């Protein structure tokens, strides 16, 4: 993988921040966009902009072809059976909420259980809390080991015959834990439950095969995988989606509207009320082409090298605490002794290094880690070992700077 050539595709990386060449280590929050994506969105607005699924005019046909073409690219990218199973949404949050509103509220009753883990992003906690409150179901947590993983024995222990929904993240956005989805899906199915996967940190970084994982729902965001903001995907098994009611009602999603009753379009459109995110979907299609050209296997291998290199070098820093397991995705969450992570991120920013500090939308996990906040460096296909060297240098400066204070 030629990282230098890849970096040239990302114009934003070629700039100075606070007098230093930018080192962008916040791709878990959102990834940068390659020219191919920027140009696809630009070309759509310059040449093809029109509403979809309506008119017979040429621009409308072109826009529809591109929008539906993007859906087919997503289908292939995740190996779904059919484009009926690929619903365009605003992102992971909307995708999970769609399942929590439509599937959960229709299928849960008092005494049923929803099983999640303490490492979930708020987007995969709150929709289930709300669904539990609305239906009388109970929310249960699979316990975590000290290193931020869970065991399959604990999964078997937590999921019971009363469990109706299991919702687990593919990859933790804080710990970098990669969860054994296929095995958890098997246990969920043995107990008659459906499994919802939060793929926000999975789909951008590794080959996704929804058939192989046998998950019932898989949610992800375009903006974390080189695509635009405002577009995401809900994959769902056709048999399940067919029985589900739409969440949003209005234009685009109907078949016939009578005065007092209406019928819905077939899948996937019944879940896409209103004018869809046309430019976003086209941009996501271009992002998928870009990622396929580089090769997901190459991206995963490159990120693995970066994660190993980062762990090895960050560990050499005195007074650093690193959270999460040894074997992890390409992100490292840490704290420096006696330095607030916001101060760490501020000093790093002065050095041109962008990391995220805060609770990472995972407050229950912060409580579990017994910290208020952490700093996090996250890597993607355009990052290099030199970026990590700059991070380490910046952290040594942070320690020097705050060394006098404490
Ligand atoms: N799930 C996980 C695991 C995430 O990491 C995120 C976003 C979401 C869901 C929500 O995605 P959205 O596109 O709907 O907002 N994670 C982060 C992060 O780690 N830092 O900023 C956003």
Confidence band, pLDDT 50/70/90 cuts, at residue 352 = very high
Confidence band, pLDDT 50/70/90 cuts, at residue 209 = very high
Ligand 1 closest atom vs CA 93: 14
Over residues 214-221, the mean pLDDT reads 98
Ligand 1 closest atom vs CA 232: 13
Q: State pLDDT tens for residues 293-328.
A: 999 999 999 999 999 999 999 999 999 999 999 999
Q: Write down the pLDDT at residue 406.
A: 47
The mean pLDDT value of the chain amounts to: 97
Over residues 376-400, the mean pLDDT reads 97
Q: Where do we find the tokens 């834990």? A: 177
Sheet containing strand 331-336, edge to edge, reads 320-323, 331-336, 374-378, 356-358
Specify whether the CB–CB gap between 399 and 345 falls below 8 A. no
Q: Which CATH architecture has domain 296-405?
A: Alpha-Beta Complex (3.90)
Q: How far is the CA of 27 from the centre of ligand 1 (A)?
A: 10
Q: Strand pairing of 217-221 and 163-169?
A: unpaired
Nearest residue (by CA) to ligand 1, atom 17, is 29
123 exposed, middle or buried (CB, 10 Å; 0-12, 13-18, 19+)? buried
Cis status, amide bond into 268, omega within 30 of 0:
yes
- Cα distances (angstroms) measured from residue 72 to each of 18, 78, 200, 246, 293: 42, 10, 20, 22, 16
Q: Which of 26, 90, 92, 203 to mutate to test the pocket of ligand 1 (most atoms within 8 A of CB)?
A: 92
Q: Write down the pLDDT at residue 404.
A: 56
* Spans of all domains in the chain: 37-293, 296-405
Q: State pLDDT tens for residues 75-94.
A: 999 999 999 999 999 999 99
Confidence band, pLDDT 50/70/90 cuts, at residue 45 = very high
Ligand 1 closest atom vs CA 223: 13
Nearest to 241 by CA among 122, 81, 65: 81
What is the four-CA torsion angle of 149, 103, 240, 164, rounded to 10 degrees?
A: 50
Q: Is 97 in the pocket of ligand 1 (CB under 6 A)?
A: no
Nearest residue (by CA) to ligand 1, atom 16, is 29
Q: Write down the pLDDT at residue 56.
A: 85
Ligand 1 closest atom vs CA 221: 13
Confidence band, pLDDT 50/70/90 cuts, at residue 9 = very high
Q: How far is the CA of 402 from the centre of ligand 1 (A)?
A: 31
Q: Write down the pLDDT at residue 402.
A: 86
Q: Is 153 helix (H, G, I), strand (E, B) or coil?
A: helix
Over residues 95-100, the mean pLDDT reads 98
Specify whether the CB–CB gap between 23 and 379 falls below 8 A. no
Over residues 267-273, the mean pLDDT reads 98
Checking if the pLDDT of 8 tops 90, the result is yes
CA dist 325 and 327 (Å) reads 6
Checking if the pLDDT of 389 tops 60, the result is yes
According to CATH, the topology of domain 37-293 is 3.40.640
Token digits for 397?
A: 């400066």
Checking if the pLDDT of 64 tops 70, the result is yes
Over residues 387-403, the mean pLDDT reads 94
Token digits for 394?
A: 């910046």
- Cα distances (angstroms) measured from residue 324 to each of 24, 75, 117, 187, 333: 21, 32, 15, 24, 8
Nearest residue (by CA) to ligand 1, atom 11, is 92
Specify whether the CB–CB gap between 274 and 251 falls below 8 A. yes
CA dist 393 and 186 (Å) reads 45
Specify whether the CB–CB gap between 144 and 169 falls below 8 A. no
Q: Which of 28, 168, 173, 358 to mutate to test the pocket of ligand 1 (most atoms within 8 A of CB)?
A: 173
Q: State pLDDT tens for residues 160-188.
A: 999 999 999 999 999 999 999 999 999 99
Point out the residues that are catalytic: 361
């Amino acid at each position: 993988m030629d990282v230098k050539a890849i970096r040239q595709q990302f114009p934003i990386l070629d700039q100075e921040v606070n007098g230093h060449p930018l080192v962008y280590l916040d791709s878990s929050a959102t990834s940068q966009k390659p020219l191919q994506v920027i140009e696809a969105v630009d070309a759509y607005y310059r040449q093809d902009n029109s509403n979809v699924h309506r008119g017979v005019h040429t621009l409308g046909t072109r826009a529809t072809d591109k929008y539906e073409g993007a859906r087919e690219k997503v289908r292939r990218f995740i190996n779904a059976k059919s484009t009926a199973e690929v619903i365009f949404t605003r992102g992971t949050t909307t995708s999970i909420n769609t399942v929590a509103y439509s599937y959960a509220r229709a299928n849960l009753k008092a005494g049923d259980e929803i099983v999640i883990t303490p490492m979930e992003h708020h987007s995969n906690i709150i929709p289930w809390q709300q669904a539990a409150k609305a239906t009388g179901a109970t929310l249960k947590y699979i316990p975590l080991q000290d290193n931020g993983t869970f065991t399959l024995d604990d999964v078997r222990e937590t999921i019971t015959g009363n469990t109706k929904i299991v919702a687990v993240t593919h990859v933790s956005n804080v710990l970098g834990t990669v969860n054994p989805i296929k095995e958890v899906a098997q246990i969920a199915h043995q107990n008659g439950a459906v499994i919802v996967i939060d793929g926000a940190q999975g789909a951008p970084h590794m080959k996704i095969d929804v058939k192989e994982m046998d998950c019932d729902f898989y949610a992800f965001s375009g903006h974390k995988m080189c695509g635009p903001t405002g577009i995401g995907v809900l994959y769902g098994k056709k048999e399940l989606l067919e029985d589900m009611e739409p969440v949003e009602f209005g234009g685009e999603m109907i078949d016939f509207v009578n005065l007092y009753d209406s019928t819905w379009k077939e899948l996937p459109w019944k879940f896409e009320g209103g004018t869809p995110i046309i430019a976003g979907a086209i941009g996501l299609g271009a992002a998928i082409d870009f990622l396929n050209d580089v090769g997901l296997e190459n991206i995963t291998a490159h990120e693995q090298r970066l994660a190993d290199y980062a762990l090895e070098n960050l560990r050499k820093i005195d007074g650093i605490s690193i959270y999460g397991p040894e074997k992890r995705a390409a992100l490292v969450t840490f704290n420096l002794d006696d330095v607030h992570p916001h101060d760490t991120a501020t000093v790093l920013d002065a050095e041109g290094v962008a990391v995220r500090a805060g609770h990472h939308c995972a407050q229950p996990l912060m409580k579990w880690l017994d910290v208020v906040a952490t700093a996090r460096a996250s890597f993607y296909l355009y990052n290099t070992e030199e970026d990590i060297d700059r991070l380490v240098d910046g952290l040594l400066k942070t320690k020097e700077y705050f060394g006098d204070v404490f």
